[in-house]
A and B are shown apart, each in its own frame.
Chain A
């Protein structure tokens, strides 16, 4: 693991940011909700690294040919931990052919497992999933007449996240709903690499407005050629209230 050296975090691009961090069989957290707030550059760089048999923790699995779909196409993912994977035909094909392992977590449980992992918490009891197949094989405990399930914290060898702005110290600011899973994942990677649309000098970002403090980020770079695809383009006509 690279040391967390303040002032020495900036890399030129995605490939150099991942240098020395990837290996077969590793666990990777990848931020985003649908295609919103995904680390587009780092996903492609992870593909180009050639690392295989990956376990990928991500709320969704991208779409065919974009986002995590890129890593599915090249068969680099062995297992996905997600809450919803409905938008990807190649995913479905590999899953039904038993080439891909899948672990579903309720979305809030997934978010909290990552938060717990990053915060050094072994596990927590939640009402979510109690009495359902999600609780199978897990400890359940009745408290005051209500049933709770023990869920454990999650960490990863590598977390790849996307922010709007970041500074050279690794402080991050997200934009609108592109925040989603990125802040928790930044805390739960043994190494966290962030790509940002704007990379600025220290002092430019208001310290009161920082979402992810730089201690959680080991490497940072300015991403390029963002596609920011929209999955469901819904609009209203002008002049209609």
Chain B
């Protein structure tokens, strides 16, 4: 049985380590915050200028001056700090963030990532995604294994315009988990969703990977 959205978030949360500073993208990556193991200190960074993101506010406590990068109302914690966008991306580009979890449209076997633009469609913009993949030390991607028409999204090369070249360290899909020890290595299939076989993954993937 393929993993659900929450399963993907849960699996990505297993990549968190005590003391990590983490940036979570919009969509499934945001759900990772729900699965931080109790007792583990993880500080969430929001690229619009905040470290130490708290949970959503109680009804009536929303503060329009306190939002995350998805423009959602949030809260602050005792550990929180606020800063400018240039300081925020200094943290990101400067390699101070330990882990980023992002969504994707395509991932290539060489670690290229495409997640911001489909030619011919209205392009909304890359936001902070290009900076995140260029600067964060470890990039974990969560995505559906195939597109709605069944096409492979983990491919030999990205066909869509890139967000970053050779920047993905781990790929978690609804079928399987792929990882590589460093950015010179090939991806290896390391886990399968319950009831999914390596053969099924292979037939639904056009990228070359080790198993």
Residues of A within 8 A of B (CB): 33-37, 59, 82-87, 92, 95-96, 104, 106-112, 114-115, 126-134, 147, 164, 174-184, 211, 228-238
Contact = CB atoms under 8 A, between A and B. Distances in A.
A52 B162 CA distance: 35
Interface stretch (B120-128, B137-145, B169-177): B120-128
Interface stretch (B2-10, B12-20, B79-87, B190-198): B79-87
Interface string B58-92: 11011111111111111010000011111011001
Nearest to A126: B93
Nearest to A93: B122
A127 B92 CA distance: 11
A179 B49 contact: yes
A115 B129 CA distance: 19
Given A115-B86, A176-B63, A131 B165 contact: yes
Nearest to A164: B65
A37 B92 contact: no
B64 A229 contact: yes
A87 B52 CA distance: 26
A62 to B, nearest CB: 12
B64 A230 contact: yes
B84 A184 contact: yes
Contacts of B123: 104
A177 to B, nearest CB: 5
Contact of B65 (A106, A111, A177): A177
A108 B122 contact: no
A184 B56 contact: no
B46 interface: yes
A179 B165 CA distance: 31
Contacts of B88: 108, 111
A179 B64 contact: no
Nearest to A113: B86
Q: Is the interface of B mostly helix, strand, loop or mixed?
A: loop
A35 B73 CA distance: 12
Interface of B: 46-50, 55-59, 61-74, 76, 82-86, 88-89, 92-93, 122-131, 134-135, 161-165
Contacts of A184: 84-86
A234 B84 contact: no
B125 A85 contact: yes
Nearest to B127: A84
24 contacts: A33-B48, A33-B69, A86-B124, A108-B128, A108-B130, A111-B85, A114-B86, A115-B86, A127-B135, A128-B135, A132-B165, A164-B65, A177-B49, A177-B66, A180-B84, A182-B84, A183-B86, A230-B73, A231-B71, A233-B72, A234-B56, A235-B61, A235-B62, A237-B58
A177 B63 CA distance: 10
Which has the most chain B C-beta neighbours within 10 Å: A147, A183, A229? A183
B83 to A, nearest CB: 7
Contact of B124 (A33, A84, A111, A134): A84
Nearest to B80: A176
B163 A132 contact: yes
Given A37-B65, A232-B67, 5 more contacts: A33-B71, A109-B89, A111-B86, A134-B130, A177-B49
Contacts of B162: 131-133
A177 B50 contact: yes
